[in-house]
Structure 1
Amino acid sequence: MRQLKRVSAAIGAYAAHPDPRAAIANTVALVIVSNQPFYPLYLYWAVSPAIAPSYVTFLSTPFFAAVPAAMRCSPLFGRSLLLLAGIGNTLLCRVAFGTGSGVEAFLYPCLMLALMLFRRSERLFALGFVALAFIAYLLPAALLGTPLHLYEAGEYAALQRLNFLSAASLTALIGWLVAARLDTISRSDETTEASGA
C-alpha cells in the first residue's frame, strides 16, 4: 500500500504544472498512457480475438508519456506534442483498422483539446491543429491502404461502438478537467496578457 502511494505521488508530481492548461494536458496524456495497455483487452472482449492491429497504438505511448517532460521545457511544445501524438495515433489506427472501424471518433477529443489548450495569442496553433485533425479525417481510404485485419460486419459495428464510447469518455474527461479549472485558466490568461502588455 505504501509503495502504491509512492507511485501515485510520483505520477501526480510528474503531471503537476503551474500553468492550468499544461496541467490539463499532462493529465490527459497520462490517462491515455494508463488506458492504452487495456485497449487490446477491450477489443478482445467486445469485438474479436483478432487484436493484433491494436498493437500499433503502443507506438504512440512514448510520445504521450513524454508530454509532461516536454511541458517543463516549453508549455507550448508540450501541448503541441499531445495533439501531434493524438492525431498521429488516430491516423495510425485508421491505417491499421480501416475506415469502417470508427476510430476517427478520437479526432473529437483532439479537436476539443486544440480549441481549449491554446490561448488567444496562440490561436494560429489552435487553428493549425484543427486543420490537421480534419485532414486526418478526410484522407481517402484508398490512400491508407488495406487494413491489417478485415473484420466481419458485426465486428466492425462492435468496434465502432467501442471506439465511440472510448472517444466520448475521453472528451467528457477533457470537458470535466477544463470546467474544474475555468477560474484558474481565466486568471492565467489575464496574467499572461498583462505581462505581455
Structure 2
Amino acid sequence: MSRVKRLVAAIGAYSADPDPRAAIANTVAIVVVSNQPFYPFYLHWAVSPVATPSYVAFLSTPFFVAVPIVMRRSPLAGRALLLLAGIGNTLLCRVAFGPGSGVEVFLFPCLMLALMLFHRSERAFALGFAALAFVTYLLPTALLGAPLHRYQPSEYEALQRLNFLSAASLTVLIGWLFATRLHTISRPDETDRDRGA
C-alpha cells in the first residue's frame, strides 16, 4: 500500500504546477498516458480480438509524458505539446483504423483544450490549434491510405461506441478540472498578463 501511495505522490509531484492551466494540461497528459496501455484490452474485449491497430497510439506516449517537463521550461510550449500530441495521436489512429472507426471524436477534447488552455494574449495559438483540429478532421480518407485492419460493420459500431465513451469521459474530465480550478484562474491575473504581453 505504501508503494502505491508513493507512486501516486510521485505522479502528483510530477504533474504539479503553480499555473492552474499548466497543472490541468499536465494532469490531462498523465491521464492519457495512464489509459493508453489499456486501450488494446478495451478493444479486444468490446470490439474484436484484432487489437494491433491500437498499438500506433503508443507512438504518442513519449510526447504526453514529456508535457510536464516541457511545461517547466516553457508553459506555452508545454501546452502546445499537449495539443500536438493529442491531435497527432488522433490522426495516427484515424490512419490505423480507417473510416468508420469514430476515432475522430477525440478531436473534441482537443478543441476544448485549444480554447481553454491559452491566455487571452495567446488567442492566436488557441485559434491555430482549433483550426488544426478541424483540418485533421477534414483530411480526405483517400489521402490517409488503407487501414491496418478492416473490421466488420458490427465491429465498427462497437469501436465507435468505445471511442465515443472514451472521448466523452476525457472531455468531462477536462471540464471538471477547469470547473474545480475556475477560482484560481482570476480576471486580475488575465488582465496583468494582457498588459504585460
Secondary structure, aligned partner of 1:146 = coil
Q: Which position in structure 2 is the counterpart of 1:86?
A: 86
Q: Which position in structure 1 is the counterpart of 2:140?
A: 140
Q: Which position in structure 2 is the counterpart of 1:61?
A: 61
- After superposition, the C-alpha distances for 1:140-197 in whole angstroms (9 at most, x for unaligned) are 0000000000000000000000000000000000000001111111253244345x17
- After superposition, the C-alpha distances for 1:73-130 in whole angstroms (9 at most, x for unaligned) are 0000000000000000000000000021000000000000000000110000000000
Length-normalised TM-score, structure 2? 0.97
Q: Which position in structure 2 is the counterpart of 1:14?
A: 14
User: How many angstroms apart in 1 are the aligned matches of 2:49 and 2:192?
Assistant: 52
| 1:42-121 alignment runs, 5 A limit | 42-121=42-121
Secondary structure, aligned partner of 2:146 = coil
Q: Which position in structure 2 is the counterpart of 1:189?
A: 190
Secondary structure, aligned partner of 1:59 = helix
Secondary structure, aligned partner of 2:49 = coil
User: How many angstroms apart in 2 are the aligned matches of 1:89 and 1:99?
Assistant: 15
User: How many angstroms apart in 2 are the aligned matches of 1:177 and 1:138?
Assistant: 29
2:109–2:167 contact (8 Å) kept in structure 1 = yes
Length-normalised TM-score, structure 1? 0.97
2:101–2:159 contact (8 Å) kept in structure 1 = yes
| 1:139-178 alignment runs, 5 A limit | 139-178=139-178
Secondary structure, aligned partner of 1:183 = helix
Kindly provide the amino acid, as one letter, of the partner of residue 169 in structure 2.
Answer: S
2:24–2:178 contact (8 Å) kept in structure 1 = yes
- Unaligned runs of 5+ residues in structure 2 are none
Shift of 1:6: 1.1
Kindly provide the amino acid, as one letter, of the partner of residue 15 in structure 1.
Answer: S
Kindly provide the amino acid, as one letter, of the partner of residue 190 in structure 2.
Answer: D
Secondary structure, aligned partner of 2:121 = helix
Secondary structure, aligned partner of 2:100 = helix
Superposed CA RMSD: 1.0
Q: Which position in structure 1 is the counterpart of 2:24?
A: 24
User: How many angstroms apart in 1 are the aligned matches of 2:31 and 2:186?
Assistant: 24
User: Greater CA deviation, 2-11 or 169-178?
Assistant: 2-11
- Unaligned runs of 5+ residues in structure 1 are none
